[in-house]
Amino acid sequence: GFKMYWVNRCNFNSSEPQDIEYIVSYYYNKIEVNRFDSDVGKFVGYTEYGVKNAEYWNSGAYLTQVKAEKETYCQHNIGIWYSNP
C-alpha cells in the first residue's frame, strides 16, 4: 500500500523567536512532496502533486494555522526538550 506521513521539526540556536525555524515535511511513498519552512513562510511542492497542494494550502487558512505552529509547537516545547536535569 501507499503511505503518507509528515514530520515536524524545530531547528534553533537559542530560545529567541527569530532563532527558531519550524519545518513540517509531508511524504508520500517515502518521497517528500511538500514542505513548510517558517523562514520561507509558505509551502513548497517538490512533485507535481506537491505543487498543487502547495498552491492550495498557500491560498487558505491552513497556511495561517501552520505559521502559528512555530510558537505553539517549538517555543512551547523548547524548555522541555533541552532542559538540564
Q: Which helix (H) or strand (E) holds 66?
A: helix 61-69
Does residue 63 or residue 84 have the better pLDDT? 63
Q: In angstroms, what CA-CA distances link 82 with 2, 12, 62?
A: 35, 11, 29
**Could you report how far apart the first and last alpha carbons of the chain are, in Å?**
43
Please give the sequence-ordered ranges of beta strands (E in DSSP) within the chain, or none if there are none: 4-12, 20-28, 31-37, 42-45
Which residue ranges form the domains of the chain, and what is each CATH number? 4-82 (3.10.320.10)
Q: What is the pLDDT of residues 2-50, one digit of tens each?
A: 799 999 999 887 777 788 899 999 999 999 999 999 999 999 999 999 9
Summarize the confidence of residues 47-63 as an average pLDDT.
96
Alpha-carbon torsion (47, 49, 52, 57), positive or negative? negative
